[in-house]
Every structure is written in C-alpha cells, then in structure tokens.
Amino acid sequence: MKKILAVLTVATALFLTGCSQVGAAATLGDTKITQATVQSSIDAILAARVGVDTSQMQLETGEALNRGQLRFHLFTALLRATGEELKLTVSKAEIDTRRQSIIEQVGGVEGLPAALVGAGIAPNDLDIYIEAMTVSDKISQALTASGVTQEDLGTAVQKLVVAKAKELGVTVNPRYGKWDGEVADVVAVDSASPAVSPAKK
C-alpha cells in the first residue's frame, strides 16, 4: 500500500487556525467539512480494525487519528479544487478501473480490509481517495508536459495546492490542531514548534 499512501504525502492539506462555524471541522472556501463527516471516517476506521490483525501495523490513534482524517478530507477537497482550476476531471469509470486495480494489487477483495486499515483509509472513503489520487496523477502529468522534471514534481504539485488553499481560504477547528506553515501540516495545539503562529484571514 506504499504506492496508495504516496499521494497523501505529495502535498499536505493546508490549514489556517480558527473556525467560526459551529459543527465545522474545517472550511475550504464555501465548502464545509463537518465534524460529523470526520467522525464518520474515524468510526469506520476503528470498526474496520476489529476484523483485521493490526499487531504489525503502526496505526494512528486518538488526536493523531482525528487530525489524520481531517487532513484526508481537506487534502482531497484541495486536490479536487486544484484539478478543477486546471480543468481536470475524473470519471466514474476511471474510479472503478482504479479500484479494481488496487484490489488486484492487495491480493483480491479478501485483502482489501487489511490494506485499507494499514493505509488509514475508511472503507467508505475509498472512492474519494481514488478520485484524489487520480487528480494528483493528472496534475503531475500536466506539469510534466509543461516541462517540470520528475525531481521537481512533488514541489510543483505542492505549490499549486498551497496557492489554491490561499486563494480559497482555509479554516480549521482548533480541536483538531493548528496550522504550521513551516512544515505545511496541521500540528497538535500544544506543539512547541517555534514556527507556529496564528495566521491572518
């Protein structure tokens, strides 16, 4: 599942501290990611772990799991928005084809639950993940066609996502963490990182 996880590290969801909307885990422009949405993913992941041998897995728990799932939903929304700006779309057929490919890679339907648990992806979020992964690939292809080298590809994708986040404006509920611009990630509220400072809206 390393390949499946790779897209999530190409660029991370970008968060600004504070969130004024009650019930919102985060907002991206006019898009609201509710706490219920994030909790649904968390609950599904925890339920899926029950039927899988996790003894050899390093899994997120507690606050880290909360932040990880919010990061997932924000990141996929940011990738989608970035793709839309570049007029890149993903069809249902593409998602279905890629899902089947993933299932084959993990040894069939029987191997999928363990693979998803290991990757930290809720079963009900698989199609959202596949869409984001496909958009990321298409963005990378567009950048490569424009002359960006493989070596600079990850940085180039990240710059696009950073720009889109700044354009739309992102807020995150402090219960999930705060934005650290130095590492482009959400960090624990009690983080001692000197790079963390409240961002202006």
pLDDT of residue 126: 97
pLDDT values of the chain reduced to their tens digit, one per residue, 201 residues: 544 444 444 433 333 333 444 489 988 889 899 999 999 999 999 999 998 999 999 999 999 999 999 989 988 998 999 999 999 999 999 999 999 999 999 999 999 999 999 999 999 999 999 999 999 999 999 999 999 999 999 899 888 888 888 888 888 888 888 765 544 466 677 654 444 334 433
Closest C-alpha to 161, from 31, 65, 74: 74
Contact 127, 163 (CB under 8 A): no
pLDDT of residue 100: 97
pLDDT of residue 198: 40
Contact 125, 72 (CB under 8 A): yes
pLDDT of residue 180: 59
pLDDT of residue 16: 38
- Measured between alpha carbons, how far is 88 from 49 in angstroms, rounded to an integer? 35
Could you please state the CATH topology (level 3) that the domain comprising 2-187 is classified under.
Answer: Triger factor/SurA peptide-binding fold (1.10.4030)
pTM, two decimals, is 0.81
- Measured between alpha carbons, how far is 190 from 169 in angstroms, rounded to an integer? 24
pLDDT of residue 123: 96
**Domain boundaries along the sequence of the chain:** 2-187
pLDDT of residue 19: 42
What kind and span of H or E run contains 81? Answer: helix 62-85
DSSP 11: S
